Amino acid sequence: MTDKRRSIHGSWSSRLAFVLAATGSAVGLGNIWKFPYITGEHGGGAFVIVYLVCIAIIGIPIMMAEVMLGRRGRQSPINTMLTLAREAGADARWSWLGWSGVAAGFLILSYYSVIAGWALAYVFRAMSGTFSGATAEGVSSVFEQLTGDPERLLAWHTIFMVMTMMVVARGVRGGLEQAVRFLVPALFVLLLLLDGYAMASGAFDQGLKFLFTPDFTRIDANGVLIAMGHAFFTLSLGMGAIMVYGSYLPERASIAKTSIIIAVLDTVVALLAGMAIFPIVFANGLEPGAGPGLIFQTLPIAFGHMTGGLVFGTLFFVLLVFAAWTSSISLIEPAVAWLVENRGVTRVHASMYAGITAWAFGLLSILSFNRWADFKPLSFIPIFADATVFKLLDYLTANIMLPLGGLCIAIFSVWVMKRDDSLQELDIGDGAGYRLWYTLVRYVTPVAVIIVFLNVTGLVDFSGLLGLAE
Ligand code: PFF
């Protein structure tokens, strides 16, 4: 264990605090909003299987690698990579990995905050009884009214971004640790309640079948990339968020155990969300492939018909906002830490600069849902035929930048860094556990990421081999 370096930003109060913060970063809109709708768009069961396999063989090992690098470098990802590259006698340009992570963080936060703004707006809709007795059409029109109005979206996006900047400005321990302590258990309880409702909805079997019966002819190469990209996105990997959180991790704490706990919690939340949503989709004759509006057009129907729906609905959207909040702060933390380290600005100023930058990019996503809804800049590429600017941003970050970042993290951790150093930092002994990690990160992750990329670009075609749709 290297405790020779100390983070100038402080540290978590305990290992539990780190688990909570990293879980807070992982569990977010990705689990409750994104996972169900992309599963719906890519045919269900087969997509879920690919996603689960990616979590197990890529996600967990990369998470361990990121935490390990962060704790060893004890600085922002940019400076951590610089320090560790020097230590390994490697090229200083490894710090570019930190820069691409900062860029990905800004881009993700820019649209993340817009969607979190929808959740904020829905807190008030739910509270005022908008959904009582609502039909599928009624709920859809509420959603369309909101997303069709750029001014309203801008207002909610702004509020959410200010909330994010406020927490980041307060630093590592202030407020954040407490929020997650309550959030994760409460979210579980509410999702279970929704699952209970879904069970009674009459289409629970159909929903489960859709989620868990794999049909590989319904997923194509692009779907596989999206499932893999989502594994990175949902675990907050490939851009330095977990690395920077790892840099605040106090001395002895098992990186392996911690990573597994976080990945399991994150996956359970996603599956519970899927199990709540799809039965409602089928019971109401809705489309599983409805896109980003899916949860906003399904769950309100459930709230509108269950006893206590007003309270539960409000609570659900409040929790969704919290889940998004504990994730959004981790998206700009790498940039903020770097600004404090290299530009000598205070955390308050650094949070403002970073937040305002992401806020400005957010305008692109806001317009994608209304004025620019028909603007498809890359429509000449078949897989982007229907992609708005929002979709492209999401695709670029989640499916390209994060897996590429993960690939570089993998290469650095086991090809560049000395084996003794990772062995010492991971501190799990030189047994089967370490060797499994080493093999997964050394071979499996790079090969998997490269194959999936090549397959999508069409340079190599494994689809037939895997029985995927063409
Ligand atoms: N993991 C978050 C979610 O699933 O909502 C999103 C996210 C947070 C992605 C932080 C990347 C990141 F660095």
* 76 CB near ligand 1 (under 6 Å): no
C-alpha of residue 432 to centroid of ligand 1, in Å: 30
Question: At 47, which helix (H) or strand (E)?
Answer: helix 45-54
Ligand 1 mutation pick, 262, 330, 336, 397, max ligand atoms within 8 A of CB:
330
Return all residues near 437 (Cβ < 8 A) that are at least 6 apart.
Answer: 61, 64, 256, 426, 428
C-alpha of residue 23 to centroid of ligand 1, in Å: 10
* 245 CB near ligand 1 (under 6 Å): no
pLDDT of 4 higher than 70: no
| CA 33 to ligand 1: nearest atom | 5
Ligand 1 mutation pick, 37, 55, 108, max ligand atoms within 8 A of CB:
108
C-alpha of residue 304 to centroid of ligand 1, in Å: 30
Q: Give me Rg for the CA atoms of the chain.
A: 21
**3-state class (DSSP) for residue 346:** coil
Across 295-322, average pLDDT: 91
Q: Provide the terminal-to-terminal Cα distance of the chain, rounded to the nearest Å.
A: 49
pLDDT in tens, 352-410: 999 999 999 999 999 999 999 999 999 999 999 999 999 999 999 999 999 999 999 99
C-alpha of residue 372 to centroid of ligand 1, in Å: 26
* 243 CB near ligand 1 (under 6 Å): no
Q: Which two tokens stand for residue 246?
A: 């790892």
Mean model confidence pLDDT for the chain = 93
C-alpha of residue 30 to centroid of ligand 1, in Å: 7
pLDDT score at 250 = 79
Distances (CA, A) of 378 to 39, 104, 393, 398: 23, 20, 12, 17
Q: Which domains does the chain have, with CATH numbers?
A: 2-465 (1.20.1740)
* 327 CB near ligand 1 (under 6 Å): yes
**Residue-wise DSSP of 141-195:** HHHHHHHT-HHHHHHHHHHHHHHHHHHHHHTTTTTHHHHHHHHHHHHHHHHHHHH
pLDDT score at 190 = 87
C-alpha of residue 4 to centroid of ligand 1, in Å: 30
- Nearest residue to 65 via CA among 399, 330, 445, 326: 445
Residue whose CA is at the smallest distance from ligand 1 atom 9: 236
pTM: 0.95
C-alpha of residue 131 to centroid of ligand 1, in Å: 29
Residue whose CA is at the smallest distance from ligand 1 atom 7: 236
pLDDT in tens, 405-454: 999 999 999 999 999 999 999 988 899 999 999 999 999 999 999 999 99
Instruction: For the beta carbon of residue 16, count every other beta carbon within 10 angstroms.
Output: 13
Angle at 9 between CA 112 and CA 356, to 5 degrees: 35
User: How far is 467 from 177, CA to CA, in rounded Å?
Assistant: 45
Ligand 1 mutation pick, 234, 237, 269, 326, max ligand atoms within 8 A of CB:
234
* 331 CB near ligand 1 (under 6 Å): yes
Least confident of 77-86, 219-228, 416-425, 456-465: 456-465
Ligand 1 mutation pick, 187, 232, 233, max ligand atoms within 8 A of CB:
233
pLDDT score at 459 = 77
C-alpha of residue 129 to centroid of ligand 1, in Å: 31
- Nearest residue to 27 via CA among 177, 238, 180, 256: 180
Residue whose CA is at the smallest distance from ligand 1 atom 11: 236
pLDDT in tens, 115-163: 999 999 999 999 999 999 999 999 999 999 999 999 999 999 999 999 9
Q: Which two tokens stand for residue 141?
A: 């029109």
C-alpha of residue 267 to centroid of ligand 1, in Å: 13
Least confident of 60-64, 101-105, 140-144, 281-285: 281-285
Dihedral (CA of 113, 122, 31, 46) sign: negative
pLDDT in tens, 315-356: 899 989 989 999 999 999 999 999 999 999 999 999 999 999
User: How far is 433 from 429, CA to CA, in rounded Å?
Assistant: 8
C-alpha of residue 235 to centroid of ligand 1, in Å: 6
C-alpha of residue 305 to centroid of ligand 1, in Å: 32
User: How far is 63 from 226, CA to CA, in rounded Å?
Assistant: 19
Q: Which two tokens stand for residue 159?
A: 């509020």
